[in-house]
Every structure is written in structure tokens, then in C-alpha cells.
Amino acid sequence: MDELNTLKLTCFTNLVVCKFKVKEYQSVIAITEQIMDMAPNHAKALYFRGKSQYLVEEFESSIATLTRLCSLQPENEDFKAELDMATKLKARELRQQQKVFSKMFN
């Protein structure tokens, strides 16, 4: 059974990479959910999940995922850079929303 789960995990991980390359970000998020059920701290799955989440503008989820990833591997600078990117994109989105709403009430 362990051998089967290892093979399943490898196949799902490869599928995530393929789906990410063809920009099917919602599929990546769904598949990584299955990976997380098998291996909750799978770094590659967390990385692609977090990156896909901010690419589909799910900034809160992305920040939570990438924060978790950075706590698992605090020495990895690439993971920190992705977390910074998600945080910056969220801030930019908030500024744009504030700009739109301020025009509505003026």
C-alpha cells in the first residue's frame, strides 16, 4: 500500500507541474488538494498551489499556503520571494479596489 501511495503521489505531482505549465491553475489547485490529503507538508505541492492561487487572484489563500510553506522550509529564498509576490499583489488589488470605491462615493 505504501508503494502505491508513493506512486500516486509522484503521478499527481507530475500532473501538477504539467497543468501549471499549460496555465490550468484551477486544476493545479484541485490536484494539490488531493496531494495534501496524502502528504500535508509536500513542499512542491504547496509551492505550485500557492503560486496558482495568486495567479487566479485568490490572494488570501495564496498567502496562507505560502506562509505555511515558508514555515516548513524557512531557509528557502524562492519560497519567500513567492510569498512577497503574493503579498504585493494583494496590496495592489486592495489599492485598486479603494480607488474604485472612492470614485463611487464622491
Domain extents in the chain: 2-104
For residue 72, give the nearest of 97, 44, 38 by alpha carbon: 44
The one-digit pLDDT tens for each residue of the chain (106 residues) are 889 989 999 999 999 999 999 999 999 999 999 999 999 999 999 999 999 999 999 999 999 999 999 999 999 999 999 999 999 999 999 998 888 887 777 6
CA atoms within 13 A on the CB side of 81: 3
pTM of this structure = 0.88
Do 86 and 66 contact (CB within 8 A), yes or no? yes
Name the strand (E) or helix (H) holding 31. Answer: helix 25-38
- Indicate the length of the chain as a whole number: 106
What is the architecture of the domain spanning 2-104? Alpha Horseshoe (1.25)
Q: Name the grid cell of 15.
A: 500532473
| Rounded Cα distance, 39 and 45, in Å | 9
